Structure 1
């Protein structure tokens, strides 16, 4: 990551910051509205599943619901360039001048397509659509305010970070995401614009979804210093798992690309039917993963067999859902997977450790950041994002240690950061 000291000068400074504040506020309202709609869609889905009850209807209803939702979301995405998938790779490509922004129809396609896809039960995250919508709002705002091309480009990227901040109520995470992942540079003007955008976005999103951490955990005692060695080894396992997950995401997309005789909407419906069948077995096997993360971070006890089952199924269901070519991100399912891996690791090693050395919740929090780092390769973003989402500041040293180990391990395995792979794939396709 480079540090660019030279900024864009002082031209139009006040106007650019005013536009960032106004557009960031709109990002917060859109992101908060998306989260509000998703919460109600998930409640509706739960009500439909409960009404279906046991028996054949209990299987057919979730299968039909998710298949129809996946097909409809795929159809919505096909009408707009770059609407399918996360969208973060497109934001990065625009920053690198490898692609053009497509703001006109992207916003409604991402909003409604993501709402239908995630709301129907696909294992996808809300952050990708919100980041992409935030960047699209930044593109329109920069053009309407007639900012110079340099500031317009910075605003586009800054408001993508504001979208991440609104998706997870994590303003510092949104800032680090822009610097560490999207631009891989620290530019004073970009930092300031992103700060204005993320603060405005989170402040306005609270009018819609309220304040507070996304996954608040009980007060955690910092593990003893000698436990850092344990978290170092744990980070190595999370990095290896992250490398495998990245390979599965890219491999599943490549396998689906070879199904040239199957229409995209039919493929999406088939994938949705598979995920719907999993949902019929257990609703926690499907969806973005927030309820599962909340349960694990609340210390909800699960057997080792149950943890293994959830981990194995969601490890495959996430890449499969992403291959449905609907709007939806990777972050939220990754966080749930990391919480599962952390809780499972604690259950396996706790007999070897002194009583009270570290709780399952501490391992779950660290697992979220470490697996994220192994896949995305943005350790500081992972640490700060998870710390903001959980209020687990006492775990700073374990988080940093595990994320360091995860990053190095994934690199040593030759795993490419997931958004680099997805961006290259996007640019190679017609």
Structure 2
């Protein structure tokens, strides 16, 4: 009996392969674009953060220097909200928009999103608002993918697929985490997987990261020395930690949604006034301590290098950032939730670790670093409800793999706890708010 022909020669698979070639090629083009644009965005934000710290230091050396700091932050928020008027789709994170487009609840983002997200995000995040860089880069990547797909004459389904795939490239660029960016598309945006989605996603992410690294360098976002595996007897403790963060993640989500709804209820007050007031409050915090504002990378890096902080100071950072993140987001300027969440998680992990060390000092200072890493991924899982994406992102951002088992245990406990208290994933709630507002 003659052998059956190879499966790859079947006509249906041949057509599918040709479609993947087209989608993959367009994804690479889109990835190159978001790689350079997102890389430039991150580079400028780094310089803005350095200027912000210098401004705060200078303000303490002159009379009424606090006025200049508050004015700077308020002006940044006002400029950002004025830019949003040019492209209303550019408000907030953009991740919920990407998800709504994938579900055919909203049209694909226009290319006007790219310059407004870039400039508005730079004004808002650069001035110190507690927002994440990933929101703008995700939405810029999605808009570029949709634009390239339309220019190539793809039908509605395929250019929508391309915008979805390129949202992952945007996230990858934001955190220099290619696998995490690709997994984000599957676990969070689409909650499904197929070759038609996976192939353009991995090609687009690969091209984006290669180009972004030409701008921002090829190194993990956080420099962390070797962290030893926590002892086996500590593993149950990570389940307890996960339960606690599940509850705190639910509270964080409720605060985000509540403040967004409150901002909408205050619509009689001009948006520039609302944003300016939030910016002024952020400016006051910046004057007091630069580590209380911005995306939180500087504070997270200090925690991950074992910098010792007194417990009252850690609690101050936690309380301010726990409120300032949702408050900044509610102002409606371009910016995301991910990066500030990671700083909150690192703070919670460090505080929990300090409590454990009182009872078991033999665990040593490295245990605090392990707890900070676990806190980052667990808080992400509790609020976004994408635990694998959170774990992979943090592994890539820290290049630490020795605490993956505690990360899995804590993330699983956090997700279950958040579900038990009936807390919706934050982007599901924000998507519903966005759809109501635009209807």
Shorter-chain TM-score above 0.5:
yes
Which is higher, the Rg of structure 1 or of structure 2? 2
Shift of 1:216: 2.5
Shift of 1:225: 2.0
Shift of 1:356: 2.1
Question: Does the 8 Å contact 1:16/1:147 carry over to 2?
Answer: no
Structure 1 residues 131, 59: closer, same or farther in 2, change over 3 A?
A: same
- Give the distance between the partners of 2:112 and 2:199, measured in 1 at CA: 29
Aligned residues: 425
Q: Please state whether the residue corresponding to 1:12 is helix, strand or coil.
A: helix
- Alignment partner of 1:233 out of 208, 230, 240: 240
- Alignment partner of 2:20 out of 13, 22, 30: 13
Q: Please give the per-residue CA displacement for 1:159-216, whole angstroms capped at 9, x wherever unaligned.
A: 0000000110101101110001000111122111111111111111000000111012
- Alignment partner of 1:362 out of 366, 370, 373: 370
Whether 2:434 is the aligned partner of 1:409: answer no
- Give the distance between the partners of 2:368 and 2:123, measured in 1 at CA: 34
User: Match for residue 421 of structure 1?
Assistant: 429
Whether 2:290 is the aligned partner of 1:290: answer no
- Give the distance between the partners of 1:192 and 1:166, measured in 2 at CA: 18
Q: Please give the per-residue CA displacement for 1:120-139, whole angstroms capped at 9, x wherever unaligned.
A: 01000100000000000000
Structure 1 segment 127-146 matched on structure 2, within 5 A: 127-146=134-153
- Give the distance between the partners of 2:60 and 2:359, measured in 1 at CA: 43
Q: Please state whether the residue corresponding to 2:363 is helix, strand or coil.
A: coil
Shift of 1:53: 2.6
Question: Does the 8 Å contact 1:338/1:367 carry over to 2?
Answer: yes
Structure 1 segment 254-265 matched on structure 2, within 5 A: 254-265=261-272
User: Match for residue 372 of structure 1?
Assistant: 380
User: Match for residue 4 of structure 2?
Assistant: none
- Alignment partner of 1:399 out of 388, 407, 431: 407
User: Match for residue 280 of structure 1?
Assistant: 287
Shift of 1:56: 4.3
User: Match for residue 102 of structure 1?
Assistant: 109
What runs of 5+ residues in structure 1 fail to find an aligned partner? 1-5
- Alignment partner of 2:391 out of 364, 383, 396: 383
* Structure 1 vs Structure 2 CA RMSD: 1.5
What runs of 5+ residues in structure 2 fail to find an aligned partner? 1-11
- Alignment partner of 2:313 out of 306, 325, 348: 306
Structure 1 residues 15, 188: closer, same or farther in 2, change over 3 A?
A: closer
* TM-score where L is the length of structure 2: 0.94
Question: Does the 8 Å contact 2:20/2:199 carry over to 1?
Answer: no
Structure 1 segment 33-182 matched on structure 2, within 5 A: 33-54=40-61, 56-182=63-189
Q: Please give the per-residue CA displacement for 1:107-126, whole angstroms capped at 9, x wherever unaligned.
A: 00000000000000100010
Q: Please state whether the residue corresponding to 1:279 is helix, strand or coil.
A: helix
- Give the distance between the partners of 2:284 and 2:380, measured in 1 at CA: 27
Q: Please state whether the residue corresponding to 1:10 is helix, strand or coil.
A: helix
User: Match for residue 3 of structure 1?
Assistant: none
Question: Does the 8 Å contact 2:120/2:334 carry over to 1?
Answer: yes
Question: Does the 8 Å contact 1:81/1:102 carry over to 2?
Answer: no
